[in-house]
């Protein structure tokens, strides 16, 4: 087998960047995607400084054409796809009576619709990898609010529940193709996304992006007969989040 390859969305910061770093360490060729080009450029340059083989594709993953372009550019550059990480996501806190349609659509399109479309676009190459080693992997970043609905974060919670359900469905549908899927369900992780809550929940008490990345390293090493449908990550004593996250 030549160099394996991975595609990571939302890889310009936080959890996605930590997973991309881990995959680089493991020798994967990488396509990294995220919305803002300048931020993604800086992240990709950092990965290349570590000696990793990286291409970046910037764009809004709420847009179908961008998703098609990311998948196509990955295929063109690497010719194979062993690991797909659907991690890009956004969250907006709003009470149900005040929901802003634009924010509802942003969360649905980024957190959920993009994952459906990435599976569709990437299925051919994932199936080739699955036929080769029976261990193609798709990691979908959900949230602990994908397990327990949260007030104020109702739409975000609904999208993240959708990620868990879609992941379960993919494990049934793609079982014969050597493609395994895992939903990651963390509580508060110390990333830019949780900046709004760090006044109340100190960053140093949060789960680290590296914690999440190490779990994906483990997933890479499971045998073809072992599927991990989801992993929950909690702060000590934590269950549901205190109203947010």
Ligand X SMILES: NC(=O)c1ccc[n+]([C@@H]2O[C@H](COP(=O)([O-])OP(=O)(O)OC[C@H]3O[C@@H](n4cnc5c(N)ncnc54)[C@H](OP(=O)(O)O)[C@@H]3O)[C@@H](O)[C@H]2O)c1
Which residue numbers are catalytic? Answer: 156
Residues binding ligand X (CB under 6 A): 10-16, 34-36, 39, 60-62, 87-91, 110, 141, 143, 186, 188-189, 191-194, 245
Query: Between residues 27 and 192, which has the closer beta carbon with respect to ligand X?
Result: 192
In the complex, the smallest distance separating the C-beta of residue 76 from ligand X, rounded to whole angstroms, is: 20
The interaxial angle of helices 154-173 and 114-133, nearest 10 deg, is 30
Contact of 74 with 7, CB cutoff 8 Å? yes
Query: Between residues 182 and 194, which has the closer beta carbon with respect to ligand X?
Result: 194
DSSP character for 207? B
- Tokens representing residue 175 in the block: 């079982």
The helices-and-strands tally (H runs, E runs) of the chain is 7, 7
In the complex, the smallest distance separating the C-beta of residue 82 from ligand X, rounded to whole angstroms, is: 21
DSSP character for 146? G
Distance, in Å, from the CA atom of 90 to the CA atom of 109, rounded to the nearest integer, reads: 10
Query: Exposed (0-12), middle (13-18) or buried (19+): which is 74, by Cβ within 10 Å?
Result: buried
In the complex, the smallest distance separating the C-beta of residue 132 from ligand X, rounded to whole angstroms, is: 29
Query: Between residues 47 and 129, which has the closer beta carbon with respect to ligand X?
Result: 47
Query: Between residues 29 and 62, which has the closer beta carbon with respect to ligand X?
Result: 62
- Tokens representing residue 16 in the block: 């996605």
Query: Between residues 36 and 133, which has the closer beta carbon with respect to ligand X?
Result: 36
Distance, in Å, from the CA atom of 27 to the CA atom of 24, rounded to the nearest integer, reads: 5
In the complex, the smallest distance separating the C-beta of residue 99 from ligand X, rounded to whole angstroms, is: 18
In the complex, the smallest distance separating the C-beta of residue 224 from ligand X, rounded to whole angstroms, is: 27
DSSP character for 150? -
């Amino acid at each position: 087998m030549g160099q394996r390859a991975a595609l990571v969305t939302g890889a310009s910061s936080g959890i996605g960047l930590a997973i991309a770093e881990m995959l680089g360490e493991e020798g994967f060729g990488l396509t990294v995607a995220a919305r803002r080009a300048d931020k993604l450029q800086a992240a990709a340059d950092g990965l290349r400084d570590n000696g990793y083989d990286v291409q970046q594709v910037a764009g809004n993953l709420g847009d179908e054409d961008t998703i098609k372009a990311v998948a196509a550019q990955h295929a063109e550059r690497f010719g194979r796809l062993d690991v797909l990480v659907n991690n890009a996501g956004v969250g907006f806190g709003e009470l149900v009576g005040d929901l802003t349609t634009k924010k509802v659509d942003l969360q649905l399109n980024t957190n959920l619709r993009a994952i459906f479309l990435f599976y569709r676009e990437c299925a051919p190459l994932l199936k080739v990898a699955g036929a080769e080693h029976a261990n193609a992997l798709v990691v979908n970043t959900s949230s602990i609010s994908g397990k327990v609905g949260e007030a104020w974060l109702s739409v975000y919670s609904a999208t993240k529940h959708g990620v868990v359900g879609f992941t379960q469905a993919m494990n049934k549908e793609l079982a014969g193709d050597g493609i395994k899927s895992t939903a990651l369900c963390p509580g508060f992780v110390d990333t830019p996304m949780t900046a709004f809550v760090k006044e109340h929940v100190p960053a140093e008490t949060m789960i680290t992006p590296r914690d999440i990345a190490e779990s994906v390293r483990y997933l890479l090493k499971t045998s073809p007969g072992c599927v991990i449908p989801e992993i929950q990550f909690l702060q000590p004593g934590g269950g549901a989040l205190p109203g947010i996250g």
